[in-house]
Amino acid sequence: MEYLTSRKVLHGDLAARNLLLASNNVVKICDFGLSREMYRNYVYLKKSNEMMPIKWMAPEAIEQRIFSIQSDVWSYGVTLWEMFTLGNTPFPGVPLNQLGKALVKGMRLEKPKYCNDQM
C-alpha cells in the first residue's frame, strides 16, 4: 500500500479477497478494478451508482462517496481485522444501509481474538 501511495494510486477495494500470497510469504495486492490515479487533488468523488464494497469502506466514502489515500488506510485496517479473525466478514449483523451512520456515530470492529495488544 505504501508503494501505491508513492505512485499516487488509490486502490479503492482493499480486502483479504484481493490479496495473493506469493513465494516466501510475500503478499501481493490484486484486483485494481476500482483503482484511480490521484495526481491532481488526491481525492476521488465517485459519481456512478455501481455496487461498492461497503463493509471495507471508510465512513466518508460510504456517506459522501469521497475516496482518498486515507480511505485506503481504513480498508487496510478492516483487511487486517479479516486476517486476525481468520476470514470473518466485517460488521456481521449490521445492515449495509445502516453501516455508514453507525460508523459516523463511533461503531468500530472489536479487537479480534487472535490479535495481540501490540497490533
Distance CA 54, CA 100 (A): 8
Which whole-number Å values give the CA distances from 99 to 11, 42, 75, in the listed order? 21, 25, 14
Distance CA 102, CA 59 (A): 9
Is 13 known to be catalytic? yes
Q: Which of 13, 31, 72, 117 is catalytic?
A: 13
Q: What are phi and psi of 110, to 5 degrees?
A: -80, 155
Residues with active-site annotation: 13
